[in-house]
Structures are given as structure tokens and as C-alpha cells.
Structure 1
């Protein structure tokens, strides 16, 4: 029996490790910049994504084929800022030698962005051109937008910020989004179908419409809003599970298998909709390969997981690759043994 082990991740901590063995790929993670013991409320109010921008500028100076930013979701216990990517713009611009008119303001955290304008931002066109020649992508965990009831500020209430602070952050992030939209409105984005240059649009209505689009962009809240700033620079936002699976060649490896066994710590609604399982299950369905799940704990019923094309689910008590022993005494070797036992129950 040959077992092909494929480490996967969905944007939670561990995504960078899952991609660590891939050549020509530089992985940057917001979670790696979270200092132990950081107060979540302080991070949400004063934290800056500047360090992430500095890392990105450094990565662009390497020979790596792909630069991947693994960005998580709030609360600030894992993402040490909620500044909408304003600090990232500062770090990236300074790393690339692009002037920043008001770096101090952009680097003081989300609430300090109240009243910010396009004149305070670095030249987004220059930053966009610097990124255009490279394969830079954002891998995000959840499709949350930056603004609105389900946005970044709302997700921090009430566990991290009180209602008043959350509303203040929402207004400040709204001002940043409007400033970015205004800065982008007069830049050349592409060419029209007749081959002419796209006409710059600077009307107030066009700026407002673009700001609404940016604020509602799926995945824009990832990395404390850093994903939104990167999207404004032309970087595609992709669900982490899909992107990691693509880089790992999951479709081809599944097609070559007789059985797919997926190990997850917890099988619940999040895993069934936004995790690794639906991505792998879709590839297996296309290749007509059966899928079995080994879950530490399963909170999903047969109807939910069978709709994904999963043939069976077995609970193991196994929690994560960081656990030497699970709650029922299950070791990682036991998990490997269980995979083999499950495989032997199928006529392969």
C-alpha cells in the first residue's frame, strides 16, 4: 500500500508550514508577526501592518516565482492589527523607495485613519506596477468584507472592542477605503476593447461607487484589512484552501489515488464550507474517487457531509498535528495506523 501524504491548510495558523516545502514560493504570514501576550484591544486600536509591507518588499527582491501572503481573520489575537492595510502601504512603499506623504498617520492604527485622504497615500500606481510583474497572491481564510455589519470592525465586537470603538474603527476604515478609491480613480487600469487607453474617471460618483465595491470585496477583511490594500494594488484574493490545494497539485494526486482520506481536527460547518474538505472532495468527485474523513470531533450530520460526496466519517479524538497525544490518548502514529486501517476496508 502506497500512501501519498499531502499537507494542506485553509488559512488558519499552519498555512505557511503546509507550503514550506514548495520550491520557488515565499510565504508571508500575518500570524508570524503577532507578538505573544499582545492585548487584542490594543492591537485593534494601535496595531499596524507596516511590518507585513516591509516583508513583502523584501520578498519582491528575491528570485522566488510566487509570493504568497497567508492572511487570517479577526480577532486581533492572531492578526495584530486592524488598520485596513494602511501600514502595509507604508512598509511596501518605503521598501520600494516610493515616497509616503503622511507615513506617520498611516502607521498609527485603524482609528487614526479618520479623515485620511488620497493625498496622504503613497503612489498606488507605482506600487501596482512593482507588483504587476510578479506572481503575488493572497490566501485568505474567510470571505468577510472589510466594511459593513459582517466586516472587520463588527467581527471585533464585543470580544475585543466595545460598540463605540467598533463604530469609530468602521468610520475610519471607511475613510481609508474612500481615499484608496480616489487614488485609484485617476490611474490607468487597462485598455478598452478598441485598443485605446482606458479613460481615467475622477467623478465623485465614480469614486463613491468604487469605494463601495472595495468595502464589500470578498476576503477584504483578511489580515486585518491588509487584503483590501493588496487587492487595490491588483493582487488577487483567493480562498486559502483552494490556493494551497492548487499549489500542492491536489487534483492530479487525487486522480491518481484509489481512496482519499482527509484528516481534520474538527468537522463542523466552517470546515464543511470554507475548509480543506470541500476542495478535496470536489477534486475527488471529478475523478470518481471515494472520500473518507478522519475527524478528531465531528459536529456535522450525515446529510451535510454526504452532500460534499464524503462516503464515511470516523471520529478519532485527534486534534492537530501539534498534539502529540489527543484527548483519548491517540498519538500521531495512531492516526497513520487508522488511515491504513480505513484504506484496507475498501476494495482498492
Structure 2
């Protein structure tokens, strides 16, 4: 049996490469005659650069940037030469500068964490000579709608209220964003792409604040305050761009139309609204999982196997909105190749994952005791679970 193993990372416990190796070894223990092939994936979050470099090659440039708390941390830019006359592309992983793993649990507060370091990575990417820059969005500790990134690029500087987290954005004035149009104009010769991990808007029930701020340390009251602050920032920022934002011809003369269009587009709320900040600079927002899948030739790899095994730490509603498992299923279904999901926990019902084209979903942990065991030994518990899955599918 030919098996393609194409997982995302497992929630900070295993990288995509580590998970793929564990899944392969477990499968082969149960079905040693299988032809097992590895294809680690990413959705734009942690592991974005490592996954792309393994497939595309390129040069890795080291950069020291600010963490969400303003402390120096190592980052990187992957520069890949263009093929067949296409421009040089630089890839940036926002989690290198704004990642949740960079902030100790006791210091997590999305009202004060900043994306300033992402702006430093973006500057380094442009300085490399790349004419196309792709920013992976996901796994952030921030909720500032990219305001810190804009400040690092010259919209206000380090003393600006833009630079100190989402909590200050409710008091932003038009003067604070006076340089935004100039910074956007300076980047007009660079194609910017935001590769988001989840297709949520900036505001609303599933937006950056209401949907994700709690994961980053916010209380329910803080999440509501951040929602209001980001809404205010969005109106002021779009107003500062004046005629630079393309009008929506279907929206008539409503002054709120450009704000609604930029804030509501899929991916605007990714990485604490960093997608929206990139959109203010003229970036296109695309699903990171689809971008990586295309880069590694996922469809061709799936076409040559009998089953594809994917997975992640938690298979939940987010998984069906731009994550790796959805991208895998979308490519496997037209090829009549079954997609099997193996996750630390499964919080999606059969109807939902079946509608997404997934043939089966298995959880490593289903009880609190099993969750604790899984966190204590992620590789061992995942390996034992995939052995049981392989006996179902390979024998």
C-alpha cells in the first residue's frame, strides 16, 4: 500500500517533520510492507520556512528582531531565486517575531504584545532584493492588527502608540497614521502576499479578538476592549489611506465600505489581525496551506498513492477554515484518494469532516487522563495510535 504522510505541526509538541517521522514509523510497525512517503506541511504558522526550504531550497538569511515583548530574538528570511523569469521571492515566518512560543505563559497579554519584529523581518526581506515577499501568518502572541509592524516600517516609529500592542489602538488619531500612505507607496514595486493560517475576518464573533485573544492570555473583558480598539484602528487607518485603497463599486458612496472590505476579507484576522495590517500595505491574502501545498506539489504526490494521512494537534472548527487538513482533503477528493486525519484531539463531528471530504478522523486523546498522557509523551502516544489506524487501513 502506498501512503502519503502530510501533517501540520502538532500544537507545539511536535514539528511537522517530527510528526511525519513518528507517523511513518508507527505505520510501518503495523504494516511493514507499505510504501510510506513523507510530505510535512504548514499553514503559514510555525514551521512555514522549514517546510518551504525543504522543498524549494534557497538561502536562509539570519536576522535579529524584537519579540512580542520587545526583546531580541533570532529570525530568518528565506530567499528563493525565481524560475523561468519569475522574480526572486522572500519568505517570512511571522511566528519568528510574534509567535506565542516567544512569550512565557505568565507574561502573555495581547493588549501589550507587538508585531514590531515582523516589520523588521519585512524590511530585511525587501532589502534582500526580492520583488515578491510572502509572509506566513499564524501562531501569534499578538492582537494589534499589524500596527507594530507598520510602526517598524516607519509609520510613527518606536514612540508611536502603534508600537505597544492592541490595547493602545482605541486612542489612535489620524496624525498617528500620517505616514501610512507613504510607506505603502514605497512598497509599490514589491508584490506582498499574506499566507494566513485561518480564513477569519478582523472583527466579529470569529475575528482576531473574539475568536483568538483568549488563547493569548486575554480575559473576556480584554477581548471586548481589543475588539473595540481594532475596530477604531481599522477606520482610522483606512481613512489615512484616502484614495490609495481601491473602491468597492458595489458599495456605492458609503464611507465605511473600504473599511468593511479590508476588515472582512478572509485572513484579515489571522495572527491577531496581522493580515489586515498587510492588506493596508497592499498585500493579497491567500490561504497558507494552499500556498505551501502548491509549492511542494501536493496534488501530484497524492495522485500517486492509495491513502493520505494528515493531522495536527487539535482538529476543530479552525481546521476547516484554511488549515492543512482542509487543504489536503480538497486535493485528495477529486483524485478519489481517501484522506485520514489523526489529531491530538478531535472536536469536529462526523458530519462536518465528512462534508469536507475527509474519510476518517481519529483522536490520540479522548479523556482528560489521555490528554495528560499525550502531552507528557507526544511522540509515543501518537505512534501507538497510528499503529491502530494502520491496521484498519493497510490490512
The normalised TM-score by structure 2 is: 0.66
Instruction: Indicate which of 79, 83, 92 corresponds to 1:27.
Output: 92
Q: Indicate if the aligned counterparts of 1:79 and 1:223 stay in contact, CA closer than 8 A.
A: yes
Distance 1:89 1:301, change over 3 A: closer
Residue 39 of structure 2 corresponds to which residue in structure 1? 6
- Give the deviation of 1:174 after TM superposition: 2.2
SS of equivalent to 1:4: strand
Q: Indicate if the aligned counterparts of 1:90 and 1:122 stay in contact, CA closer than 8 A.
A: no
How many residues align structurally? 318
Q: Indicate if the aligned counterparts of 2:178 and 2:240 stay in contact, CA closer than 8 A.
A: no
Instruction: Indicate which of 118, 123, 126 corresponds to 1:57.
Output: 123
Q: Indicate if the aligned counterparts of 2:245 and 2:258 stay in contact, CA closer than 8 A.
A: no
Within 5 A, what are the aligned runs for 1:69-88? Answer: 69-72=135-138, 79-88=140-149
Instruction: Indicate which of 100, 112, 115 corresponds to 1:46.
Output: 112
Distance 1:18 1:338, change over 3 A: farther
Q: Distance in 2 between matches of 1:86 and 1:284?
A: 38
Q: Distance in 2 between matches of 1:119 and 1:326?
A: 50
TM-superposition CA deviations, 1:122-171 (whole Å, max 9, x none): 54344334444444322222222222343333233698444554444333
Within 5 A, what are the aligned runs for 1:171-190? Answer: 171-187=228-244, 189=246
- Give the deviation of 1:88 after TM superposition: 0.6
TM-superposition CA deviations, 1:298-343 (whole Å, max 9, x none): 4555544443334445556699xx989448x4475x6887787677
TM-superposition CA deviations, 1:223-252 (whole Å, max 9, x none): 222210101212122222222212221112
Q: Distance in 1 between matches of 2:46 and 2:116?
A: 20
Residue 330 of structure 2 corresponds to which residue in structure 1? 282
2:279 is equivalent to residue 231 of structure 1: yes
Q: Distance in 2 between matches of 1:335 and 1:13?
A: 24
2:260 is equivalent to residue 212 of structure 1: yes
Residue 117 of structure 1 corresponds to which residue in structure 2? 173
Distance 1:165 1:232, change over 3 A: same
Distance 1:172 1:337, change over 3 A: closer
Q: Indicate if the aligned counterparts of 1:101 and 1:119 stay in contact, CA closer than 8 A.
A: no
- The runs of 5 or more residues in structure 2 that have no matched partner are 1-33, 58-79, 81-89
TM-superposition CA deviations, 1:91-138 (whole Å, max 9, x none): 123xxxxx7489522212223233423332254344334444444322
Q: Which has the higher contact order (CA 8 A, sep 6+)?
A: 2
Within 5 A, what are the aligned runs for 1:1-348? Answer: 2-21=35-54, 22-23=56-57, 24=80, 25-30=90-95, 32-34=97-99, 35-37=102-104, 39=106, 43-63=109-129, 67-72=133-138, 79-93=140-154, 100=156, 103-121=159-177, 123-155=179-211, 156=213, 160-162=217-219, 164-187=221-244, 189=246, 206-300=254-348, 302-313=350-361, 325-326=377-378, 329-330=380-381, 344-345=394-395
Q: Distance in 2 between matches of 1:26 and 1:5?
A: 22
Q: Indicate if the aligned counterparts of 2:142 and 2:216 stay in contact, CA closer than 8 A.
A: no
Distance 1:179 1:272, change over 3 A: closer
Q: Distance in 1 between matches of 2:220 and 2:314?
A: 31
- The runs of 5 or more residues in structure 1 that have no matched partner are 73-77, 94-98, 193-202
What's the C-alpha RMSD, in Å, of the aligned pairs?
A: 3.8
Q: Indicate if the aligned counterparts of 2:170 and 2:228 stay in contact, CA closer than 8 A.
A: yes
SS of equivalent to 1:27: strand
Q: Which shifted more, 102-111 or 246-255?
A: 102-111
Q: Distance in 1 between matches of 2:389 and 2:190?
A: 39
Q: Distance in 1 between matches of 2:266 and 2:363?
A: 33
Distance 1:113 1:266, change over 3 A: closer
Q: Distance in 1 between matches of 2:340 and 2:223?
A: 42
Distance 1:158 1:335, change over 3 A: closer
Residue 200 of structure 1 corresponds to which residue in structure 2? none
Q: Indicate if the aligned counterparts of 2:342 and 2:361 stay in contact, CA closer than 8 A.
A: yes
Q: Distance in 2 between matches of 1:178 and 1:250?
A: 40
The normalised TM-score by structure 1 is: 0.74
